[in-house]
Chain A
Amino acid sequence: MINLDSKVPAGPLADKWDNHRFSIKLVNPANKRKYDIIVVGTGLAGASAAASLAELGYNVKVFTFHDSPRRAHSIAAQGGINAAKNYRNDADSVHRLFYDTVKGGDYRSREANVYRLSQVSVDIIDQCTAQGVPFAREYGGLLANRSFGGAQVSRTFYARGQTGQQLLLGAYQAMAAQIATGKVTLHNRSDVLDIVTKDGQACGIIVRDLLTGQVSSHSAHAVVLATGGYANAYYLSTNAMNSNVTATWRAHRKGAAFANPCYNQIHPTCIPAGDEFQSKLTLMSESLRNDGRIWVPRGLDETRMARDIPEEERYYYLEEKYPAFGNLVPRDVASRNAKTVVDQGHGVGALKNGVYLDFADAIARDGVETIRERYGNLFDMYERITGEDPYQRPMRIYPASHYSMGGLWVDYNLMTTIPGLYALGEANFSDHGANRLGASALMQGLADGYFVLPYTIGDYLAPKLGEKVVPTDDPVFKTALEEVDSRTRQWLDVKGTKSSDHYHRELGKIIWEYCGMSRDEAGLNKALTEIPAIREEFRKNVKVLGTADGLNQSLENVNRVNDFMEFAELIARDALHRKESCGGHFRVESQTDEGEALRDDENYSYVAAWEWKGEDTPQELNKEPLTFENIKLTQRSYK
């Protein structure tokens, strides 16, 4: 068993973060330069952390497998970022954002963390605006807001449909300024393939240079993982092709507990797959649900064009079932309902794998120009991909794997169960519970990187003043390095017949089928036998050509698929053990009479933190109980 001490400070909710900042140990400004910190990943969390830590005076080494830090997948976030500014005078507050987030997460997140997130959300907007993020503005020059799923206030700030891009550029530019001063050293095209610990503490990483194939060791006083989520385990997802679980999975194998891996968000508004060889699914911002109406034909085997189907034969299923929130229900609810109607045979499109998102009413109401201004780039993107004009005919959408709420278990300081190893942003599990609300991922990534870690890391580092980093010729590094090198090279010797993509696709089908939008015991058990089987076959029969001593994208990929193969089993195991439904985790056995997710607070109000027990032993379950002192647990209802 591991000790899951969340280190949540005592005291009233609203004062916890203040008290904590006062009580944790600090590193004197002049001493910060004596510490080296490794940051892995340059998305919102990684870049903001690297910049902030370097500004404080720490020596930061940053690693990314991309050619430029600005390519991290945060860049693809479209809709916006939440903040409890109450600029709209619509009764928003820190407490309301906190409440919405906990409720949206179906009461499976840690209260204190979420409250802190809501508190610092306000600072994020100030910081980003000062950095030059061109948020949308009103004519008077004030910042504009839009509303988003799961909230009844307008608190989402946005920069057209490219909010993630603009926030990432802000963080990247802040980091670039530090690269220029030399406080940040950038290692691009560097794949982190292992975490190294000594005496139970994180002391460095093993990195493969993607250009030369050379494997090297890097040591530091602390290691920060900001490596994103694992939605690509499903193969088809909205994540970038190279997004992977490797760093967090390798950390898990070195002793970091992995929390709630079964909480994976299926995003309701993606473009459905067009064919078998589709490599990824493209997300259409959830903000589209503000103006678009979702429907399917009432009849089965409908063949008419959408516009020829009369109003009374259209089934606006979200509006009918959830009159209060209508098309703006949280993502998990919207996704599940789409699956339900498609499974019933109401699906639209050639493959009958989508539902309509219709803008005809919005265009009639606000005019085509207004709609173009709001969503023009999204409409253009949709047309490029599908060849259909959404101004003329409704979009087709369908849910796709999008975001992982689960991740490495972290305490209130964002430290994993390995001392000195931190996890930020999507890589940790902390703030979104079982379901993430729209426009909250950007908020969390930046909160962790700008405003949480820079304070809390001092608590760990302060007592280490004067300690040298573990030298990279230490046996712990040598062993790890040799292991990584041979693990990478072995793939060239398998000489099988199928590509790693092939196996990744097969793996994706299994977990999409059994660990997707709805799960049941029989299916999960099936997954638990099928995943090891496909993994075995993959390891025996994968085919990788080329060399390990230079750029080889197939070789990069096979390492990642291998880790997904191991990790997928944990998703299924976690999903199987959690016999309740909550948020993104819908167990068929646990639903209300109306088919809504039914939680079991009595037995499952805890964080499931899995502990690595070795290659052939199943992980051990550890529980961090969740207590709610400030929110009354209710059945979520968006009716």
Chain B
Amino acid sequence: MAKTISPSDSRGRVKPLRKRSRELPWPANLYQTAVGKKYIMALTGIGILGFVLVHMIGNLHIYQSPLEVNDYGEALRDLGGNLIPRTLLLWVFRVGLIGMFILHIHSAWSLNRMSEASNEKYQSKRDYIAANFASRTMRWTGPIILLYLFFHLADLTWGWWLGDTYIRGDVYHNVAESMSSIPVALIYIVANVALAVHIYHGAWSLFQSLGINNPRYNAARRGFATGLAGIILLGNLSFPIMVQAGVISEDNRTTPPAGSVTSGALAPLSQSTVLEVGS
């Protein structure tokens, strides 16, 4: 029995779940840790939020007239005026946006994986107090939004299922045609509710992740996130609802289809509706 062993040898400590990787040069090293990834997630979230908001506001042109909304699309392509090649700035934005999406999604995916690897499930029912529906469904609303993004591009940018009725460059026409179908309108509605739920948590949480917080404004943060999510939700939901209600409709149209007016200008730009025109 007279063994001499040190307790720490005989039972082992709790081992780390993961090893640190070799540190990359700054600023890539930020992305190597979870706190850094959250920071990137918040920054890209801000960028995407800005896009979503501007996109929604821009689309409100549809309520002015079909011409206005089509001109708005045209103006985006013309950003930078004659100083730079046409659509260059737009493409810079697009590439930036795609980059942000990729980083946002990748960071979310890898953070989620890290959490799953650290978590041990309870055997009895958990009773959550603070974690709300929005915060707990980020990992579900995220993929829903991503799927919706593809649907949306395919629908209004590439015109996959409008087929012959799809007119390149005629935003008003395409929106009215697409959303007049009840299943499509429902998809838009469901997806935009998911988007709003995502923003409801994301727009609050990003301050936390970035460490921009002052206890005095904490209450305002919640209001800000709720307001932002609400505005975006209202704006975006209005499109399918108004189409269904017949407010946006080819029957009410007083101007000719885009093709017949500005066909020359539109010809090289057909693919440029990729990200900024739609719902």
Contacts and interface: CB of A to CB of B under 8 A. Distances in A.
Interface of A: 185-187, 189-190, 207, 209, 211-212, 214-218, 472-473, 477-478, 481-482, 485
A183 B6 CA distance: 16
B8 A187 contact: yes
A212 B4 contact: no
B132 interface: no
A211 B7 CA distance: 9
Contacts of A472: 4
Contacts of A207: 7
Contacts of A485: 1
Contacts of A214: 3, 5, 7, 10
B216 interface: no
A477 B4 contact: yes
B9 to A, nearest CB: 10
B6 A481 contact: no
Contacts of B7: 187, 189-190, 207, 209, 211-212, 214, 216
B126 interface: no
Given A187-B6, A216-B6, A482 B1 contact: yes
Interface in B1-41: 1-8, 10-11
Contacts of B5: 214, 216
B11 A473 contact: no
A186 B1 CA distance: 24
Given A187-B6, A216-B6, A209 B11 contact: yes
A248 to B, nearest CB: 22
Which bracket fits the contact residues of B? Answer: 10 to 19
B11 A211 contact: yes
Contacts of B11: 209, 211-212
Contacts of B6: 185, 187, 216, 218
A215 B2 CA distance: 8
B215 to A, nearest CB: 18
A462 B5 CA distance: 29
Contact of B2 (A190, A211, A482): A482
Most chain A CB within a 10 A radius of its CB, from B1, B2, B10, B11? B2
Nearest to A61: B6
B8 A216 contact: no
A215 B5 CA distance: 8
Given A187-B8, A216-B7, 18 more contacts: A185-B8, A186-B8, A189-B7, A207-B7, A209-B7, A209-B10, A212-B7, A212-B10, A212-B11, A214-B7, A214-B10, A216-B3, A216-B5, A473-B2, A477-B4, A481-B2, A482-B2, A485-B1
Interface in B93-121: none
Contacts of A481: 1-2
Contact of B4 (A185, A186, A189, A217): A217
A228 B6 CA distance: 24
A175 to B, nearest CB: 16
A207 B6 CA distance: 9
B4 A216 contact: yes
A385 B195 CA distance: 46
Contacts of B3: 214, 216
